[in-house]
Chains A and B, each alone.
Chain A
Amino acid sequence: AQTVTQSQPEMSVQEAETVTLSCTYDTSESDYYLFWYKQPPSRQMILVIRQEAYKQQNATENRFSVNFQKAAKSFSLKISDSQLGDAAMYFCAYRPTQGGSEKLVFGKGTKLTVNP
């Protein structure tokens, strides 16, 4: 079964600084999709960014970018110019293209604190 591991239960960053959240996953497939979701204190799950495994170019969405290392099965999220509103739980998720492709598998999350 595919698994997603987020090894940092908590991280903190100073406002305006850059922080990187780690995510690794275990799969035997060559094609799949990866996602980062943000969950602020309001509890709403919000899509931050997504990456297709067949694309070598790292996805970018404004201040959010990923470092996708397919061989290492690593999918880290970089937040630049951190803002107070970035404080949240961040979840990494994996979705296969073959068996189980209907479902997303989530990591346990990383709690990000942004210090003013």
Chain B
Amino acid sequence: NAGVTQTPKFRILKIGQSMTLQCTQDMNHNYMYWYRQDPGMGLKLIYYSVGAGITDKGEVPNGYNVSRSTTEDFPLRLELAAPSQTSVYFCASSPGRGNSPLHFGNGTRLTVT
């Protein structure tokens, strides 16, 4: 069982470039999330989705876009990359609300120079 799979693991972007971080889960979870982790700052929510076709902004959505065309996939798009977007990005999924835990991917380390 693969769980939550993120690609790529590492990426270096130049300022102004764009890219898509891929996330797929095989657990049939309705809820999916994108978090970013900056050193000493914990995890901050970028976007989340409660089902195919439904997305909503989290705490730090500026500079990012998402889509959710299928239950399995939840890609995160960075447009016009900036140094402030240098971070580790985590995708996660959850079967529901309440005490349902989040299942995380292994993260993508992104550097923008």
Task: Decide if A101 touches B98 in the complex (CB within 8 Å).
Answer: yes
Minimum CB–CB distance from A108 to chain B (whole Å) comes to: 4
Task: Decide if A106 touches B33 in the complex (CB within 8 Å).
Answer: no
Task: Decide if B90 touches A45 in the complex (CB within 8 Å).
Answer: yes
Nearest neighbor of A42 in chain B, beta-carbon distance: B106
Q: Among residues 1 to 51 in chain A, which have CB atoms less than 8 Å away from a CB atom of chain B?
A: 4, 9, 33, 35, 42-45, 47, 50
If A43-B88, A108-B42 touch, does A103 touch B98 (CB 8 Å cutoff)? no
Q: Which of A4, A33, A91, A103 has the most CB of B within 10 A?
A: A103
CB of A52 within 8 A of chain B? yes
Task: Decide if B42 touches A103 in the complex (CB within 8 Å).
Answer: no
Number of interface residues of B (CB under 8 A): 23
Sample of 18 more A-B contacts, CB < 8 Å, known A47-B101, A50-B99: A33-B99, A35-B101, A43-B107, A44-B106, A45-B90, A45-B92, A45-B102, A95-B97, A97-B97, A101-B97, A102-B50, A102-B97, A103-B58, A104-B45, A106-B35, A106-B43, A108-B42, A109-B42
**Which of A's residues lie within 8 Å of B, judged by CB?**
4, 9, 33, 35, 42-45, 47, 50, 52, 91, 95, 97, 101-109
Name the B residues within 8 Å of A9 (CB-CB).
40
CB of B31 within 8 A of chain A? yes
Task: Decide if B102 touches A33 in the complex (CB within 8 Å).
Answer: no
Task: Decide if B33 touches A103 in the complex (CB within 8 Å).
Answer: yes
Name the B residues within 8 Å of A42 (CB-CB).
106
Task: Decide if A103 touches B99 in the complex (CB within 8 Å).
Answer: no
CB of B74 within 8 A of chain A? no
Task: Decide if A50 touches B101 in the complex (CB within 8 Å).
Answer: yes
Minimum CB–CB distance from A106 to chain B (whole Å) comes to: 4
Task: Decide if A107 touches B58 in the complex (CB within 8 Å).
Answer: no
Question: What separation, in Å, do the CA atoms of A64 and B43 have in the docked complex?
Answer: 22
